Amino acid sequence: MTQPYGQEPGQQGGGYPQGGYPQTPGQGQPAQGYPQSPPYGQPAQGYPQSPAYGQPQGYPQTPAQGYPQASPYGSMPAAPPEYSSGPIPRPGTITAAAVLGYVQAGITLIPTILMLIGVAQGTSNGGDVALGWLIVVAQLVGAALLIAGGVQIMGGKGRALLIAGAAVELAVCVYWIIQAAAVESEGIDADLVDAGKGVIIGIAIFFAIMPTISLVMALGSNTTQFLQSRRGH
C-alpha cells in the first residue's frame, strides 16, 4: 500500500501524530499558566476566603438601636433623697428641733425680763450693770434667733439661724455656770452658799439641755437631706 505523498510511515492526517490534531487550550486540557477552577463548594487557591455571613471580622459588634444594654454589674442603686427630682417630706427631727427652739426661747425670756428690770433699776454697781446689760442683750438675741430659726427650718429655707440661736444660749449657760462656781462665801454660811451655787448651776444645765438637742437635730443627716431637696423649690 502506498503512503501518501510527504507522509512518513506511522503518521496519519498529513504530518500530525496519530490520533488527530493537537489539542488547543480549552479543549479537553486546561491551558498552561492559568489556575484550575476548583470543584464546586471548595475555595479557590490563591484567593482569600470570604468570611461567613454575619458580623464583619475586625469590627466590634454594635448593639441594636432602641434597646438598652443590661449592665454587667447588675442594677444600679437608687439615688439618695438629696439627689432626687423633688422635695422630700419634712422629717420629725426638724419639727422637734423647731419646737425645742420655741420652748427654749420662751423659758429664756422669763428670767431675761426679770434681769432687765433689775439692771434698769441700777441696783448694782457700774461694772455689774454693764455686764448685766450684756447678758440681757445676749439672752434676748438668743431667744429671737431661736424663734426665727424655728420658722426658717420648718419652711426648709435653712438652719443657720437656729444653730446660731442654740450656740448663743449654750454660751450664756456656760457663763452662768462659771459665775456660780466662782462665788465665794465671804462670811456667809458656806453650806448656804454651796446650796445656792448648786441651784444656779443646775438651772444653767437645765437651760442648756434643749438647745443642745436642738443643735444636734439641726445638724443631723435627715435635716441635711430635707434642706437639700428643698433648694430651688
Task: For residue 162, give the nearest of 175, 153, 174 by alpha carbon.
Answer: 153
Question: Mean pLDDT over residues 148-168, rounded?
Answer: 94
Spatial CB neighbours of 149, under 8 Å, sequence gap ≥ 6: 98, 101, 159, 160, 161, 162, 163, 164, 165, 166, 218
Query: DSSP readout, 146-171?
Result: HHHHHHHHHTTS-SHHHHHHHHHHHH
Poorest-pLDDT segment among 4-8, 109-113, 127-131, 171-175:
4-8
Residue 193 C-alpha cell reads as 452658799
Query: In the structure, what pLDDT confidence band is assigned to residue 202 with cuts at 50, 70 and 90?
Result: very high
DSSP 7: -
- Is the whole-model pTM more than 0.75? no
Between the alpha carbon of residue 228 and those of residues 88, 93, 188, the distances in Å are 9, 15, 57
Look at residue 118 in the predicted model and tell me its pLDDT: 83
* Segments making up each domain of the chain, as ranges: 89-230
User: Rounded distance, CA 202 to CA 159, Å?
Assistant: 29
Question: Mean pLDDT over residues 171-200, rounded?
Answer: 84
Chain centroid to Cα 62, Å, comes to 32
Mean pLDDT (the chain, rounded): 75
Between the alpha carbon of residue 85 and those of residues 77, 79, 134, the distances in Å are 16, 10, 47
Question: Mean pLDDT over residues 138-167, rounded?
Answer: 95
Q: How many CB atoms lie within 10 A of CB 138?
A: 16
User: Rounded distance, CA 165 to CA 210, Å?
Assistant: 12
